[in-house]
């Protein structure tokens, strides 16, 4: 099972949303991390065939993204999706099952099973317009899995979920990644940290880092420092180093920052986490030391 | 005997705990579940056409029958009927562009039978329905007017086509769901225009204006077809939203 993305580009007038991305994805969970406007959604839309690339191609096991057979292997949760106002959760799933080529009998079984899986069984007959954001999102996740897809693309899947729902969702995705290619985008760093086997970091339409969590963090390992300094020193450090975190304490200011060498005498190096790397690249336009 | 078997099954269940299934998904994936065929998909879409389309179409046909039963056929009758037909066009168009109106297009584009196929299915179903209603009306009019079938068809369909063109023109150029309100306005305008023509030009349904009707019919049919093609092309790809990479 192989999803090949070859020199994929999306240009709109003078703006390059996705810039010659080449990737080969196999079974596993891939976390696409990037700030708003980095090109995540455009990339995902092209992978799902809803946006035509300016150049490049997407193929799954040799099948082009534009083919019906490709879409038959695809499950997609868009960032924002609507619904027909008269639909209940169950109707919504039956409708999408009909578009995904399931027979009536399969559709009924699958809809019931998935509503149970996402914890919406009791609300199955309720109109979607009465649902909370989290319930809508769970329904969106359920519809993406109706056809038991080989490729599952989830754009900001945890948006609107409460902490409990997010943990349930993470566990569900981790299990799915065993026999599927799961690509999920988010700017919630912890989601990616917990469930993604491979992290893809995207900036200005390009993949700037790709690898396992430990590989990707290696870029700034030994460069993350924490220190508590007085107010005079704070401004100097803020102006000269990428700051990860600032916390006012009683008489000093606590800083977590990235630097090549200790930025002050009291600074101590601490283990890097993914959030450090994320903020290092995406904080204040990516100011780096 | 049967009860004994049932008892045995129950006792076995109670005695042994069933092991957790292993490689269940692999096994299920091996099974080749029959997939729905294209024709099943098309038929399933009939069920998703809203009731109002069927109700309005039936009311129009039954209303015509009742009108013919109670009243004598006159040009006013033709005018009333031709002014009502644009409403059928309005509900049909609102059905075809429903995905865009309710922000379902992205989800539908990613499905096996994608937005293009869904739109074509809806277009086909509603086209057949509207055509059947029109043919039905023409049939019940048979022999009750001095107009021939073609002439009567042109009188009835021209306002319908004007509404189709106006509504599709608005939908293809406006990106918001508010386009449907504009379509409602277009339908109202077509009705008003039809009334003004009938009131202003008393002999509008005479042979004197036949060329005008014929040419208008052809021009509107061509323009509507062009707008339909534009709408279909629109369903092939999501419109790029610059706010995504702002």
Question: Which range has the worst mean pLDDT, A83-87, A202-206, B173-177?
Answer: B173-177
pLDDT value for B20: 76
For residue B110, give the nearest of A50, A80, A104 by CB distance: A50
Q: What residues of chain B lie within 8 A of the CB of A12, using their CB?
A: 240, 242, 245
Across chain A, mean pLDDT equals 89
pLDDT in tens, B54-64: 999 899 888 88
Asked if B104 is an interface residue toward chain A (Cβ–Cβ < 8 A), one would say: yes
The interaxial angle of helices A89-99 and A133-144, nearest 10 deg, is 30
Contact: B107, A52; criterion CB under 8 Å:
no
B112, B235, B237, best to mutate vs chain A, most A CBs in 10 Å: B112
Mean per-residue pLDDT for B227-234?
90
pLDDT cut 70: percent of chain A above it: 98
What is the Cα–Cα distance from B106 to A50, expressed in whole angstroms? Answer: 7
pLDDT value for B28: 66
Q: What residues of chain A lie within 8 A of the CB of B122, using their CB?
A: none
For residue A99, give the nearest of B112, B240, B245 by CB distance: B112
What is the Cα–Cα distance from B217 to A47, expressed in whole angstroms? Answer: 44
pLDDT in tens, B69-117: 787 777 788 888 888 889 999 999 999 888 988 989 999 999 999 999 9
**Can you say how many angstroms the Cα of residue B29 is from the centroid of all Cα atoms in its chain?**
37
pLDDT value for A289: 46
Residue B239: closest CA among chain A residues belongs to which residue?
A: A51
Contact: B112, A147; criterion CB under 8 Å:
yes
Q: Is the pLDDT of residue A288 over 80?
A: no
pLDDT value for A285: 45
Q: Is the pLDDT of residue A152 over 90?
A: yes
Within a domain: B123:
yes
Q: Which of A155, A141, A148 is nearest to A47 (CA)?
A: A155
pLDDT value for A284: 53
Within a domain: B170:
yes
What backbone phi and psi angles, to 5 degrees, belong to A207?
Answer: -85, 115
Q: Are the C-beta atoms of B41 and A99 separated by less than 8 Å?
A: yes
- Enclosing domain of residue B64: 51-245
Contact: B41, A99; criterion CB under 8 Å:
yes
For residue A52, give the nearest of B28, B106, B237 by CB distance: B237
Q: Tell me the pLDDT band of B1, cut-offs 50, 70 and 90.
A: low
Structure tokens at A259: 């630097």
Within a domain: B36:
no
Q: Is the pLDDT of residue B244 over 60?
A: no
Instruction: List residues bridging with A153 in a β-sheet.
Output: A76, A183
Instruction: List residues bridging with A228 in a β-sheet.
Output: A254
For residue B103, give the nearest of A38, A81, A143 by CB distance: A81
Within a domain: B9:
no
Within a domain: B30:
no
Structure tokens at A229: 């300094």
3-state secondary structure of A49: coil
What is the Cα–Cα distance from A119 to A113, expressed in whole angstroms? Answer: 10
CB count within 10 Å of CB B217 equals 18
> Which pTM does this prediction carry?
0.84
Q: Which of B58, B101, B91, B99 is nearest to B160 (CA)?
A: B91
What string of H, E and C letters represents the secondary structure of chain B? Answer: CHHHHHHHHHHHHHHCCCCCCCCHHHHHHHCCCCCCCHHHHHHHHHHCCCHHHHHHHHHHHHHHHHHHHHCCCCHHHHHHHHHHHHHHHHHHHHHHCHHHHCCCHHHHHCCCCCHHHHHHHHHHHHHHHHHHHHHHHHHHHCCCCCCCHHHHHHHHHHHHHHHHHHHHHHHHHCCCCCHHHHHHHHHHHHHHHHHHHHHHCCCCCCHHHHHHHHHHHHHHHHHHHHHHHHHHHHCCCCCCCHHHHC
pLDDT value for B26: 67
What residues have CB less than 8 Å from A104, skipping those under 6 apart? A98, B36, B44
Q: Note the ipTM here.
A: 0.86
Q: Is the pLDDT of residue B240 over 70?
A: no
- Chain A positions contacting chain B at CB under 8 Å are 10, 12, 15, 17, 37-39, 41-42, 45, 48-52, 68, 71-72, 74, 76, 78, 80-86, 95-96, 98-104, 106, 143, 147-148, 179, 205
Mean per-residue pLDDT for B221-245?
79
pLDDT in tens, B156-205: 999 999 999 999 999 888 866 778 889 999 999 998 998 888 888 878 88
Q: Are the C-beta atoms of A169 and A141 separated by less than 8 Å?
A: yes
pLDDT value for A37: 86
Total domains, chain B: 1
pLDDT in tens, A41-81: 999 999 999 999 999 999 999 999 999 999 999 999 998 88
Q: Residues A64, B101, A187, A237: what is their CA dihedral angle, to the nearest 10 degrees? A: 130
Q: Tell me the pLDDT band of B241, cut-offs 50, 70 and 90.
A: low
Within a domain: B239:
yes
Q: Would you call A35 exposed, middle or buried from its count of C-beta atoms within 10 A (0-12, 13-18, 19+)?
A: middle
For residue B245, give the nearest of A37, A50, A104 by CB distance: A37
Residue B25: closest CA among chain A residues belongs to which residue?
A: A179
Contact: B35, A101; criterion CB under 8 Å:
yes
Asked if B46 is an interface residue toward chain A (Cβ–Cβ < 8 A), one would say: no
Contact: A50, B48; criterion CB under 8 Å:
no
Contact: B244, A41; criterion CB under 8 Å:
yes
Chain B: closest CA distance from residue A122 (Å): 24
Q: Is the pLDDT of residue B245 over 90?
A: no
Q: Which of A167, A207, A165 is nearest to A185 (CA)?
A: A207
Chain A: closest CA distance from residue B180 (Å): 15
Instruction: List residues bridging with A152 in a β-sheet.
Output: A75, A182
Within a domain: B22:
no
B36, B47, B113, best to mutate vs chain A, most A CBs in 10 Å: B36
pLDDT value for B29: 64
pLDDT cut 70: percent of chain B above it: 92
Q: Tell me the pLDDT band of B216, cut-offs 50, 70 and 90.
A: very high
Q: Which DSSP helix (H) or strand (E) runs through A151?
A: strand A151-155
Q: What residues of chain A lie within 8 A of the CB of B23, using their CB?
A: none
pLDDT value for B30: 65
3-state secondary structure of A92: helix
Chain A: closest CA distance from residue B77 (Å): 36
Q: Is the pLDDT of residue A287 over 60?
A: no
- Within A48-121, residue ranges assigned H as helices are 68-72, 89-99, 104-117
A71, A98, A127, A142, best to mutate vs chain B, most B CBs in 10 Å: A98
What backbone phi and psi angles, to 5 degrees, belong to A265?
Answer: -65, -35
Contact: A51, B35; criterion CB under 8 Å:
no
Within a domain: B4:
no
Contact: B242, A12; criterion CB under 8 Å:
yes
Residue B28: closest CA among chain A residues belongs to which residue?
A: A148
pLDDT in tens, A230-265: 888 888 888 888 888 899 888 889 999 988 889 888
With tokens 């990707």, the residue in question is A216
Across chain B, mean pLDDT equals 85
Q: Tell me the pLDDT band of B140, cut-offs 50, 70 and 90.
A: confident
pLDDT cut 90: percent of chain B above it: 37
3-state secondary structure of A157: coil
pLDDT value for A98: 95
């Amino acid at each position: 099972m192989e999803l090949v993305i070859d020199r994929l580009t999306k240009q709109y007038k003078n703006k390059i949303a996705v810039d010659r991305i080449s990737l080969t994805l196999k079974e596993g969970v891939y976390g696409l991390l990037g700030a708003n406007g980095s090109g995540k959604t455009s990339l995902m839309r092209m992978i799902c065939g809803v946006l035509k690339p300016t150049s490049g191609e997407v193929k799954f096991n040799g099948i082009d993204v534009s083919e019906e057979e490709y879409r038959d292997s695809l499950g997609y949760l868009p960032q924002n999706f609507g619904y027909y106002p008269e639909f209940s959760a169950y109707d919504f799933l039956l409708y999408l099952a009909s578009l995904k080529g399931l027979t009536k009998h399969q559709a009924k079984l699958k809809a019931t099973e998935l509503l149970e899986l996402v914890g919406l069984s009791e609300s199955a007959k309720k109109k979607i317009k009465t649902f909370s954001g989290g319930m809508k999102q769970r329904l969106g996740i359920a519809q993406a899995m109706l056809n038991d897809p080989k490729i599952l693309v989830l754009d900001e899947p945890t948006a609107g979920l409460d902490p409990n729902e997010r943990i349930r969702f993470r566990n569900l995705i981790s299990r799915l990644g065993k026999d599927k290619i799961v690509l999920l985008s988010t700017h919630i760093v912890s989601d990616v940290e917990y469930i993604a086997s491979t992290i893809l970091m995207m900036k200005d339409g390009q993949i700037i880092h790709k690898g396992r969590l430990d590989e990707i963090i290696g870029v700034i390992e030994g460069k993350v420092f924490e220190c508590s300094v007085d107010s005079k020193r704070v401004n100097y450090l803020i102006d000269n180093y990428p700051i990860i975190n600032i916390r006012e304490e009683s008489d000093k200011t606590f800083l977590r920052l990235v630097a090549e060498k200790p930025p002050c005498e009291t600074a101590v190096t601490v283990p890097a986490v993914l959030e450090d790397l994320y903020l290092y690249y995406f904080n204040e336009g990516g100011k780096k030391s | 005997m049967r009860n004994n078997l049932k008892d045995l099954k129950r006792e076995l269940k109670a005695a042994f705990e069933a092991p957790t299934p292993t490689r269940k998904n692999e096994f299920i994936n091996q099974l080749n579940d029959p997939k729905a065929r294209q024709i099943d998909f098309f038929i399933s879409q009939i069920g998703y056409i809203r009731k109002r389309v069927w109700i309005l179409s039936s009311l129009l046909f039954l209303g015509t029958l009742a009108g013919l039963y109670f009243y004598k056929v006159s040009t006013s009758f033709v005018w009333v009927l031709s002014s009502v037909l644009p409403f059928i066009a309005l509900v049909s168009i609102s059905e075809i562009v429903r995905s865009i109106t309710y922000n379902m297009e992205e989800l539908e584009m990613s499905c096996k039978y994608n937005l293009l196929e869904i739109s074509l299915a809806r277009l086909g179903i509603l086209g057949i329905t509207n055509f059947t209603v029109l043919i039905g009306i023409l049939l019940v009019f048979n022999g009750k007017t001095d107009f021939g079938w073609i002439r009567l068809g042109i009188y009835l369909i021209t306002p319908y086509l004007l509404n189709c063109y106006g509504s599709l023109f608005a939908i293809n150029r406006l990106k918001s769901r508010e386009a449907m309100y504009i379509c409602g306005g277009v339908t109202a305008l077509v009705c008003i225009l039809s009334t003004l023509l009938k009131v202003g030009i008393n002999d509008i349904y005479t042979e004197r204006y036949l060329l005008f009707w014929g040419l208008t019919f052809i021009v509107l049919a061509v323009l509507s077809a062009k707008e339909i093609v534009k709408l279909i092309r629109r369903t092939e790809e999501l419109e790029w939203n610059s706010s995504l990479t702002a």
